[in-house]
Structure 1
Amino acid sequence: MRLTRIFTAIAASSALVLAGCGTADPASTPAPGASGALTPIKLQLQWFFQAQFAGYIAAVDQGFYKEQGLDVQLLEGGVDIVPQTVLAQGRADYAVAWVPKALASREQGAGITDVGQIFGRSGTYQVAWKDSGITKAADLKGKKVGNWGFGNEFELFAGMTKAGIDPGKDVTLVQQQFDMQALLKKEIDAAQAMSYNEYAQLLEAKNPKTGKQYTADDFSIIDWKTEGSSMLQDAVWANTEKLNDPAYQQQTVKFLTATIKGWAFCRDNAEKCRDLVVAKGSKLGKSHQLWQMNEVNKLVWPATGGIGVIDETAWNQTVQLSQTTKNQTGDTVLTKAPEGLAYTNDYIKQAIEQAKTAGVDVNGTAFQPATVTLNEGGS
């Protein structure tokens, strides 16, 4: 079954993968830092610089990658960039991508493997006005429902499917911009939002009736974790074929070890990481980025099994929903279970042990989120 319309961006980009992968020559890849020189590494992010990627930004800034013999270049993402395709085509050494999107690309031929599930929880909401009466997926029936597309809508469709709603017949789907203006202008009844980004944009907006910012009391949230249709999101993906190369295996452990240190640093130094993100050129302001850092930390910490370890139950739920959730034309994200090495905990577990030896708290059991005050416009 071919994915259509909303799934086209992923499928079309992935169609180029097989021609671009090539075969790595293990003998030509030196072990990281073997000669004392830093090994250049490119990490493709899935969006613009923001606190969603603060752990990687901090690992560069604090020298954690250099400690491992790596010179890491962060490649900024955007609307037209599919990270897993960039990775599979050999234009990056690692990539950050949501699991269902990446699995769809794997089914189209991308040779990639999840080696570190940094976000252990989903941060996707569907947000409505409090007075709309929309509090759960079933309430979306007959409504104008916004979504971004590009593979970001899978949890929404899974939640509607679970609630007995046919996304092709029972709702009016609206292509939503990557902001909340359509909801604020009441052009749609419910809008897609990340807990760490677009939801904050609502709380940064001014209520024209009061002259003050909106508050959480003005909105209702459908959280897909509560609805049982959440899927795994930000993960570090590696090139599957290169994982046969002992040098790339060693490099992957080193990369993940430094990445763990970066995320632990941002857990313990949220304001410092906020400043690093802003200095990196974030398009959103300081209070917004502090909110985002705090909310992103909630998705990472606590990490009971250790940061980045792929939980089998969460993985299986993501795969099962990807095989059964249909879009408005009746197509599913996946047509079959992933084949080959879709994920492995081998390298992240080695990295966790190395980080623990260096005195890093890899579980964050004591993590407590802060209370962040948003300024108007996120400034």
Structure 2
Amino acid sequence: MVHLWQLRAHRPRHAGLRTTSWILLWAVACFIPSPTAAAEPVEDTPLKKAVLIPQWQPQAQFAGFYVAYQKGFYRDLGIDLQIRRGGPESPSSHLLAEGEADFGTMFLSTAIEKRAQGLQLVNIGQLVQCSSLMLIAKRSSGVFTPPDIDGKHVGLWGAEFQIQPLAFFRKHHLKITPIPQAATVNLFLRGGTDVTSAMWYNEYHMILNAGINPEELTTFFFFDYDMNFPEDGIYCLESTLRRDPDLCCRFVQASLQGWRYAFQHPEEALDIVMSHVDEANIATDRVHQRWMFNRMRDLMVSRDCGAVVGAGRNAAATMIPTPVDSEFGNLDPTDYQRVAQELQAAGVIDWIPDYGHFYQGCVAAHEN
């Protein structure tokens, strides 16, 4: 397969640099090792230490990283990786800013917001291509179409997760009563809200497990309304990429290799996920983690979000049998602009960071 290595140079901010400096920079960029070379196993070379911070606690959402670690893919590419435990007390953007982690995962919307606020984050690999954030209502509440949400009590998470719902409400001229939503869907199940926020790979399955049939629910997938927000991506600081682009490239390669291996060996991947879940004493089970794993694959391997959403309406959906996209890991500029423009319209950011500076893709496609 074709290997893609893309490292864009930023415009220097020092007016005193001479033309010769630009020539030297161009020459160095031309001789950066290609991903083909970087993919070779590293022998007789000291391992480079690195730290990854996922944006949440151990679960199948991060299966590819755990698999890559367990199978030795990072070490094979010269990285001695530590995976820290994420969660609300350890936001990935904060640990990156403080130098406590080299790499982190986060939503595209979060990263754009942080970049616009001055934190020089760069996306070096986009994983989730289709938005999984959704709204769910019980049909018994009389909600069947967007206009039916007008005047309803809607459960909303924190600011990061409100961007799409609020844009959805603006688009359909809806006035709702926002209700703060906790980590569970218990308030919705007990009738405390008419509509709840949910992730397709997580809370939606919890609602089904609570005994509610899919036919009893009205689901609003944002992709259906031209509001697809790609979610999990791999990020580092711009300074990290400039200091050691080879390390960043190797990290992305090993991570994508881990995801591909996980997709090809789902039960082994779930074994690895559950070992991390058990170590962290997370209250979940293998059935729920399998659902999450299958849905993560759907969201990551296909750019046909319509097909993904269509499968999402089937409670019994299993993994979509499509091969991993040959450009798995890339951030589409159209998706970037869509998210950034919604952030600006919502007043979350004052300006839109340049895509060419934000996305410094280091992607290598591996043979399946």
In 2, Cα distance between equivalents of 1:307 and 1:52: 16
TM-score (ref. length: structure 2): 0.78
2:291 corresponds to: 291
1:225 corresponds to: 223
In 2, Cα distance between equivalents of 1:243 and 1:334: 24
Would the aligned equivalents of 1:119 and 1:235 in 2 still touch at CA under 8 Å? Answer: yes
- Match 1:164 to one of 155, 165, 173: 173
Structure with greater contact order relative to length (CA < 8 Å, sep ≥ 6): 2
Q: Is 1:312 paired with 2:317?
A: no
**Within-5 A mapping of 1:124-273:** 124-165=133-174, 170-205=175-210, 213-245=211-243, 248-273=244-269
Rate the CA distance shift 1:305–1:344 in 2: closer, same or farther, 3 A. farther
SS in 1 for 2:205: helix
Would the aligned equivalents of 1:38 and 1:70 in 2 still touch at CA under 8 Å? Answer: yes
Q: Structure 1 vs Structure 2: percent identity of aligned residues?
A: 27
Deviations 1:193-233 (A, max 9, x none): 1011111111111xxxxxxx322122111101112222121
1:300 corresponds to: 300
1:8 corresponds to: none
Would the aligned equivalents of 2:116 and 2:352 in 1 still touch at CA under 8 Å? Answer: no
Q: Structure 2: which 5+ runs fail to align?
A: 1-37, 303-323
- Match 1:321 to one of 323, 342, 352: 342
2:319 corresponds to: none
CA drift at 1:258? 0.7
CA drift at 1:147? 1.1
Root-mean-square deviation (CA, aligned residues, Å) is 1.8
Would the aligned equivalents of 2:125 and 2:233 in 1 still touch at CA under 8 Å? Answer: yes
SS in 2 for 1:237: strand
Deviations 1:351-372 (A, max 9, x none): 22xx2xxxx23xxxxxxxxxxx
- Match 1:334 to one of 342, 345, 349: 349
Would the aligned equivalents of 2:134 and 2:197 in 1 still touch at CA under 8 Å? Answer: yes
4+ runs deviating over 3 angstroms: 31-35, 135-138
In 1, Cα distance between equivalents of 2:241 and 2:344: 27
- Match 1:84 to one of 93, 97, 102: 93
2:359 corresponds to: 343
Question: Which amino acid in 1 is paired with 2:256?
Answer: I
CA drift at 1:140? 1.9
**Within-5 A mapping of 1:96-135:** 96-135=105-144
CA drift at 1:150? 4.1
In 2, Cα distance between equivalents of 1:115 and 1:135: 40
Question: Which amino acid in 2 is paired with 1:312?
Answer: P
In 1, Cα distance between equivalents of 2:143 and 2:260: 37
SS in 1 for 2:69: helix
CA drift at 1:33? 5.7
SS in 2 for 1:191: strand
Q: Structure 1: which 5+ runs fail to align?
A: 1-30, 206-212, 326-331, 362-379
Would the aligned equivalents of 2:96 and 2:104 in 1 still touch at CA under 8 Å? Answer: yes
- Match 1:52 to one of 61, 77, 83: 61
TM-score (ref. length: structure 1): 0.76
Question: Which amino acid in 2 is paired with 1:215?
Answer: N
2:103 corresponds to: 94
In 1, Cα distance between equivalents of 2:161 and 2:294: 22
Rate the CA distance shift 1:136–1:250 in 2: closer, same or farther, 3 A. farther
Would the aligned equivalents of 1:100 and 1:333 in 2 still touch at CA under 8 Å? Answer: no
